[in-house]
Chains A and B, each alone.
Chain A
Amino acid sequence: MKIKSFIACVILLTATPAFSQENYRIDWEYRGNSFEEFVMQVEAAYPVRFFYRDEWISNLTPGDYGNKQFLFEILDTLFSGRQIHYYHEKPDRIILTRYYAIKLDGDIPVEELNYIPGLDYSEVAESGAPAGNIVIDLGKASDRDLPGRVTISGYIRNQDTREVVPGVTVYIPKISAGTISNAYGFYSLSIPRGTYSVMFTFIGMKEKIIDLNLYGPGELDVEMRGMLIPLREAVITADKSVTFQRHEAGMEKINITTFRLSPTSLGEADIMKSMLQVTGVQSVGEGSAGFNVRGGSADQNLILLYGAPVYNTSHFFGFFSAVNPDIIRDVTLYKGAIPARYGGRLASVLDITPRDGNRREFKGNAGISPVTTHFVAEGPVKRDTLFYLIAGRVTYSDWLLKVINNSALNNSNAFFTDFNTRITYEPDRYNKIDFSAYYSYDSFRFNSDTTYKYENMIASLRWRHFFSNRLFSNLTITNSYYDYDISSFRSPPEAFVLSHTINSSGIRADFTWLPGRHEFNFGADMATYSILPGKFLPGLDSSIVTPKSIEKQRALETALYLEDNFPVTDYLSINAGLRFVTFLALGPQTLLTYDPFYPRGVSTVTDTIVFGKAGAYKTYAGPELRLSAILRTGQHSTAKLTYSHTRQYLHLLSNTISISPSDIWKLSDYHIKPQSGDQFAAGYYRMFNQDKIEVSGEAYYKKIKNMIDFKGGTRLVMNEFIERDLINVDGKAYGLELQVRKPEGRIRWSLGYTWSRVLIRSTGTFAEESINRGEWFPADFDRPHDLILTFNYLHTRRMSFSANYTYSSGRPVTYPLSSYKIGDVILTHYSDRNKYRIPAYSRLDISFKVSGDLKVKKIAHPHWIFSLYNLTGRQNVYSVYFKNEKNTVKGYYLSVFGRPIPSVSFNFDF
């Protein structure tokens, strides 16, 4: 792209307020020359520079304009009727635009264009109005009285990094219309002709307001500027217009700057933990891996990084999240209607949007916290064309184990690290290719004896192509690999290495097509899975362990989807999506069939079937419908209704309460049916106090079929015949999520309350396949009351204070009822599953952030974060356990963070 191909970049137009009629005399013969030659001659003769796009002027030839001698006369004539306009930015720039004319607020209107006067700036004046609103004319002024709607569209980019910015709210307060820029940073809005103020808002960026005289369809590209100090924005927010315009009820976007400030337990900003501040998201206990969305189990969340699933999302058994916050731009959590482009999990999709590197200059950041040290470096290889980002973290948390006075822990080692890299190549405006890679590694050796290791590897190649301004595509090829191994050498004859692996590769093509008022998203998605359920090998030559390996599982999952986003009237818009998934369990596979009239076991095997390599031995297929309707119920309120059906073919087998490090991924197969879920949700949203306070309520009901549970005391590791130990369970979840928040201003707060239940019921026909006699009972993560309060005070740009408060009901627990003896062994008999509850959980955290200074030109910007976790030192019950002491079984509460935990972390940008 040449320098002349200047994208109409409105931000630059704010500098010069006055219009000048200074003219340049053209005293040479220009007739018959191409416009390009004409421009070269003008630039040679006068101190001016032209900016335009090549394709606008490709067939433009200045003709014989009689006596016209001045440059602007010639341009006026040349462009008239061609929808090309120019703007002279004093002193030397001539900027061409197509479809719309630009002028600055305060310009003298050109008579024949008939500007529409009387713009109302009152509602925008407060939000730190940018220096001079920009006035843009779109279309021909003469069309202004034509009937019907017209469409405006364009790309939104970050002015500094040139990255496209998805998720920007484009909102027109006057008619309460708006939209959100899509994943490509593209937005499109169909509105009646007229004069509007269009607001472009995005967390962490300066709000931009453009005054628009809309006469006809046109394109409007916008550049937005990032906040100098990102901590200016520090609230989890689906900001007001997002809530109003999003078609997916139950969707939350969390910006990286948001959780940077959130108080943390050991000074580590953690994206998974910050999810817990969203209403409807809970966990089984602090420091545990995974989270539960609207009554879904932890494996029902699809966590996507670079478009690939992350199979283990935590470091150190769940205390830290495995994704480095340095690489994240934002994360989106879909907890209600999941868009049709996603599938494969029941409860939610957590899409982590990584940052591209900085396109224009080298930047970096490094820091330390009590647990890790981390760095990120980014910059261009070739400005605006080829750029990179690399980030890494490594822990030095070993010292924590050494300070605890226990020999077993002193002899233990803990280590984790992760690396991310992304290289982006953007050869032109129509193509963007990026390659991303991620690696995480954990190792924990307990008492110099047993070593536990796991690693994630993700590679992703993506090609975005813009066929036109109305059709985009995104082709993604991914691979995600996860393995763990557990080894023990304490007893040489029994030394072993146990490992488990999952490897999945996917290719997907996504298209977005905007033919007028509709927005179509469609595409195809194909993934192969290969799982090694377990391999048990001798750890030493002297070991007598028999090598054993459970047969590999393979599967192919393909999906086609189509989604239409359509504003039916001013008051109703509908998003309808359909996803059709085919799941093939592939051979080779040896499987057993069982007598259906008896519980599955060794003695009820009826046949052994061996499937060869060719073809599928079991096929599951079905449509998944996703629907949502948004109804604008008034100037300041909307209502939404959604329905979504989801299916899940990949399951994490776990018989512990939290996700544990030895859990096993398992594909649906001959015996294990896919899980399926149906969710109905309704929401109402309303703004108060000049749209500063947002109140929302969402209710949902969810039915889940074919979840997996286990017979008591079942061991899952190296279990060849897992189908014998399974119990099928169905679930139902329902709840009400209420929220009031003030997401803007110096003082920001939010209050969220969720009432929800999740109940499950075993569906087995045999006594040993039933839990609590087949009655409904609360799931492990059923916590009916959940209250979240956040408060942020931005004292100055350099100093801010935050506080979070969390309260939730205790999780259900199975208590021992009585003790008894068989021979000399004292045993415990347990109650019905989850009949009792541990005490309620409550915690208050605060943090204080100080930034060094605000100078842009400085070698390094330091930031300090001081956090105090569990300010009140409440001894929250993490779990209960029972011990036999002197022939009496006594119960104990265990609390982990039972005292205030201070931490300091230090970061600096360079």
Chain B
Amino acid sequence: MKPETVIRTITFLLMLAGCTIEFKPEIMEDKELLVVSGLITDQAVSNRVVLSRSTPIGNQIISNAVTGAFVTITDESGFVTTLIETSPGVYSTDSSAFRGRIGGSYALNIIADGESYETGFVEMKPVPEIGSLYYEKVVITPSTDSSRIDEGCRIYLDSYDPTGKCLFFRWSFVETWEYHIPYPVVNSICWATERSGRILIKNTAVYNHARVSKLPVTFITNRTTRLQVKYSILVNQYSVNESEYRFWEKLQNINENVGGLYDMTPMAIDGNIRCTSSPGETVLGYFSVSAVAEKRLFVKDQFLGQPHFYTYCITDTLTGFLPEEGLNRSYWVLEDNANEIPPWWVITTYRECADCVTDAERIKPDYWDDF
């Protein structure tokens, strides 16, 4: 826990004691700024630089792709690689022609919508393997009912760089979980995937060793379907340089809690991209260069206190015949007993109860095992 977190508890306390009202801020400026999200790794994969425009506040955040840009990566020897727009706004390297090299330095150049943008050279630092990835059950007892026991799951990570070179870590993760709909429908078994939206960083420069011990990666409550059948998490570990670490740290400080009296005064945080053609223009985003190490963990365990997720599903049981579909009438069949006499059906108005593909995929990932 960071010392700052303590101060946030005050705000938290106030929020509990006080009351909140939603409002729509009257913003007098709604310029859509260029956002660069680039990552060059040492993996034999296609590296991507994603260009988009920012979304004005209060609007649904959508990927507002910037197409038709000219994007190149230059290495320290002056060798230039041009990226190809593989889908709108996504510019990719050819994985067979370009691969990041530890110790190499890379700079990004962009020409988009008539403006040119550039970064300085960023060196690729080595990254150690993730030492271990594990979980622990956490008992959560709701204050309203102390007799009930709920269990959640906290994922932890240990890492250690014996060379001591990797002082600043960053992680991202992807969660995948299998879940079942308890009705005899066609699409009842699915695998859902969600990418981490959190900034997860660690500065080991304050410790004796480049060691990360029991870093809480994420916490899974049993209020979601993640722990229902089987859960998996894939963690990517990056080693970042000090300035990128500071960038993420500032974003984390101002992004996670802002606006209260005890929160950090928010400020626009500059990344490492600047506009060379109009120097006053703000460019958002970051061009990261890092080696990557990854590790996957499966969790298949019993967690107490899991609620029944589908109790709300059954809308009606019909006998005799199914009504015609029409305006303002949309239902899905959970149980089809058309062959019985009289025929009857269990129906729902919630699509996700009858078809798991609504939120996930039916295709079992190739790394998945059923143990």
Query: A823 touches which one: B39, B211, B270 (CB < 8 A)?
Result: B39
Q: Judging by beta carbons under 8 Å apart, are A818 and B54 in contact? A: yes
Which residues of A have CB within 8 Å of B22? 890-893
Which chain A residue shows the least CB distance to B257?
A: A881
Q: Smallest Cβ distance from A244 to chain B, in angstroms? A: 39
User: Does B319 reach chain A (CB closer than 8 Å)?
Assistant: no
Distance between Cα atoms of A823 and B49 in the complex (Å): 10
Q: With a CB–CB cut-off of 8 A, which chain B residues contact A406?
A: 16, 143
| Cross-chain contact of B258 among A817, A836, A882 (Cβ < 8 A) | A882
Beyond A713-B251, A815-B25, A888-B60, is A894–B18 a contact (Cβ under 8 Å)? yes
| Cα separation A447 to B8 with both chains bound (whole Å) | 13
Complex contacts, B10 vs chain A, CB 8 Å: 317, 660-661
Partner of A824, one of B13, B16, B197, B262: B197
Q: Are A449 and B23 in contact (CB under 8 A)?
A: no
Give the contacts of B38-88 with A (CB-CB under 8 A). 39, 52, 54-63
B208 proximity list for chain A (CB < 8 A): 544, 546
Q: Knowing A405-B144, A450-B9, A831-B27 are in contact, say whether A878-B207 is a contact too (CB < 8 A).
A: no
**A177 contacts partner chain B, Cβ-Cβ < 8 Å:** no
Residues 10-30 of chain B, each 1 if its beta carbon lies under 8 Å from chain A, else 0: 111111111111111111111
Given contacts A446-B9, A713-B253, contact A545 B18 (CB under 8 A): no
Contact A820 B54 (CB under 8 A): yes
Q: Which of A867-910 contact B (CB under 8 A)?
A: 875, 878-882, 884, 886-898
| Residue of A490, A768, A824, A827 with most chain B CB atoms under a 10 A cut-off | A827
Bound Cα distance A886, B31 (Å):
22
Q: How far is the CA of A898 from the CA of B14 in the complex (A)?
A: 11
The docked-state distance in angstroms from the alpha carbon of A828 to that of B197 is: 13
Cβ of A714 under 8 Å from chain B: yes
Query: Is B259 an interface position by the 8 A CB rule?
Result: yes
A711 to B267, CA, bound (A): 8
By a CB distance below 8 angstroms, the chain A residues around B286 are 822
Q: A658-679: contact bitstring with B at CB < 8 Å (1 yes, 0 no)?
A: 1011100000000000000000
Stretch at the interface among A491-499, A630-638, A640-648: A491-499
Q: Are A829 and B19 in contact (CB under 8 A)?
A: no
**Is B29 a contact partner of A817 (Cβ separation < 8 A)?**
yes
A444 CB to nearest B CB, Å: 8
A5 at the interface (CB under 8 A from B): no
Partner of B13, one of A409, A826, A893: A409
The proximity string for B residues 200-241 relative to A, scoring 1 for CB distances below 8 Å and 0 otherwise, is 000000111101011010000000000000000000000000
Question: Which one of A447, A830, A898 has the greatest number of beta carbons of chain B within 10 Å?
Answer: A830
* Residue in A718, A819, A831, A880 whose beta carbon sits within 8 Å of that of B61 in the complex: A819
How many cross-chain pairs have Cβ atoms below 8 Å apart between A and B?
269
Which of the residues A407, A825, A894 comes within 8 Å of B143, measured between beta carbons?
A407
- Give chain A residues whose Cβ lies under 8 Å from the Cβ of B313: none
Q: B361 at interface (Cβ–Cβ under 8 A)?
A: no
A residues 783-833 in Cβ contact with B at 8 Å: 813-831, 833
Interface size on A, residues (CB 8 A): 93
Are A819 and B54 in touch, CB under 8 angstroms? yes
Q: Is the CB of B37 within 8 A of A821?
A: yes
Min Cβ gap B64→A in Å is: 9
Tell me whether B113 is interfacial, beta carbon within 8 Å: no
Tell me whether A713 and B267 are in contact (CB under 8 A). yes
Say whether A259 faces chain B, with CB atoms less than 8 Å apart: no
Please, how many angstroms separate the alpha-carbon atoms of A452 and B7 in the complex?
9
Given A288-B261, A830-B266, is A895 in contact with B9 using a C-beta cutoff of 8 Å? Answer: no
Do A824 and B195 touch across chains, with their CB atoms under 8 A apart? yes
* Residue pair A656, B264 in contact (C-beta under 8 Å): yes
Contact among A288, A660, A887, A893 for B7, CB-based, below 8 A: A660
Query: Which residues from chain B contact A893 at a C-beta distance below 8 Å?
Result: 20-23
Report whether B198 and A407 are in contact in the complex, using a CB–CB cutoff of 8 Å.
no
In the assembled complex, the Cα of A658 lies from the Cα of B262 at a distance in Å of: 6
Contact A882 B259 (CB under 8 A): yes
A530 within 8 A of B: no
Considering only CB atoms and an 8 Å cut-off, how many residues of chain B contact the other chain?
89
Closest-CB distance, A1 to chain B (whole angstroms): 55
Minimum CB–CB distance for A653 against chain B, Å: 13
| Chain B window 277-307, contacts with chain A (Cβ cutoff 8 Å), 1 for yes, 0 for no | 0000010111000000000000000000000
Q: Which of B196, B255, B262 contacts A828 (CB 8 A)?
A: B255
Residue from B11, B33, B261 within 8 A of A820 (CB atoms) = B33
Contact of A830 among B5, B262, B268 (CB under 8 A): B268
Q: At the interface, yes or no: B35 with Cβ under 8 Å from chain A?
A: yes
B216 contacts which chain A residues (CB < 8 A)?
Answer: 491
CA separation between A887 and B266, bound complex, in Å? 20
Q: Which residues of B contact A892 (CB under 8 A)?
A: 20-23
Q: Are A895 and B195 touching (Cβ within 8 A)?
A: no
Chain A residues with Cβ under 8 A from B196's Cβ? 824-825
Expressed in whole angstroms, the minimum distance between the Cβ of B27 and any Cβ of chain A is 6
Say yes or no for B336: interface residue by CB 8 A criterion: no
Q: Which of B56, B196, B211, B265 has the most CB of A within 10 A?
A: B265
Residues of chain B lying within 8 A (CB to CB) of residue A829: 33, 54, 268, 282, 284
Q: What chain B residues lie within 8 Å of A890 (beta carbons)?
A: 22, 58
Residues of B within 8 A of A660 (CB): 7, 10, 261-262
Partner of B57, one of A494, A819, A825: A819
Name the distance in Å between B130's Cβ and chain A's nearest Cβ: 16
How far is B285's CA from A544's CA once the two chains are assembled, in angstroms? 34
**A15 CB-CB contact with B under 8 Å:** no
In Å, the complex CA distance between A277 and B38 comes to 54
Q: Does B57 contact A891, Cβ atoms closer than 8 Å?
A: yes
CA distance A452 to B5 in the complex (A): 11
In the complex, residue of chain B having the shortest beta-carbon distance to the beta carbon of A887: B61
Residues of B within 8 A of A711 (CB): 250, 267
Asked whether A657 is an interface residue with its Cβ less than 8 Å from the other chain, the reply is yes
Give the CA-CA distance A887 to B37 in the complex, in Å.
Answer: 18
A817: shortest Cβ distance to chain B, in Å? Answer: 6
Contact B61 A494 (CB under 8 A): no
Decide yes or no: A822 and B250 within 8 Å by CB, A656-B261, A894-B20 being known contacts: no
Quote the shortest CB–CB distance from A211 to chain B (angstroms): 56
| Contact among B57, B63, B260, B262 with A817 in the assembled complex (CB-CB below 8 Å) | B57
Interface check B199, CB cutoff 8 A: yes
The answer to the question of B116 belonging to the interface, with a C-beta cut-off of 8 Å to chain A, is: no
Per the 8 Å Cβ criterion, residues 250-303 of A in contact with B are 284-285, 287-288
1/0 per residue A620-633: CB within 8 Å of B?
A: 00000000000000
A859 interface residue per 8 A CB criterion: no
Contact with B along A530-557 (1 / 0, CB 8 A): 0000001000000011101000000000
**Residue among B19, B55, B252, B259 with most chain A CB within 10 A:** B259
Chain A, residue nearest B5 (CB): A450
Known contacts A814-B265, A881-B258, A890-B58: does B52 contact A820 (CB below 8 Å)?
A: yes
**Is A695 interfacial (CB 8 A cutoff)?**
no
A825→B286 CA distance, assembly (Å): 12
Bound together, the chains give a CA A821 to CA B261 distance in angstroms of 27
Cross-chain contact B57 with A822 (CB below 8 angstroms): no
Q: How far is the CB of B223 from chain A (nearest CB, A)?
A: 15
**B106-147 interface code vs A (CB 8 A; 1 in, 0 out):** 000000000000000000000000000000000001111000
Given A544-B207, A657-B265, A881-B259; 15 other pairs, CB 8 A cutoff: A404-B17, A409-B16, A449-B1, A661-B6, A712-B250, A813-B259, A814-B266, A815-B57, A821-B61, A823-B39, A825-B198, A827-B255, A829-B54, A882-B258, A887-B62
Q: List, sorted by A's number, 19 A–B pairs whose CB atoms are closer than 8 Å.
A: A406-B16, A406-B143, A450-B6, A546-B206, A656-B261, A662-B4, A710-B265, A711-B267, A815-B25, A817-B31, A817-B54, A818-B33, A818-B55, A819-B55, A819-B61, A820-B61, A879-B259, A893-B22, A897-B18
Query: Ordered nearest first, which 3 A-B pairs have the shortest CB separation?
Result: A713-B250, A712-B267, A658-B261
Residues of chain A touching chain B, judged by Cβ–Cβ distance below 8 Å, are 284-285, 287-288, 317, 404-410, 412, 446-447, 449-450, 452, 486, 488, 490-494, 498, 536, 544-546, 548, 602, 655-658, 660-662, 710-715, 717-718, 767-768, 771, 780, 813-831, 833, 835-836, 875, 878-882, 884, 886-898
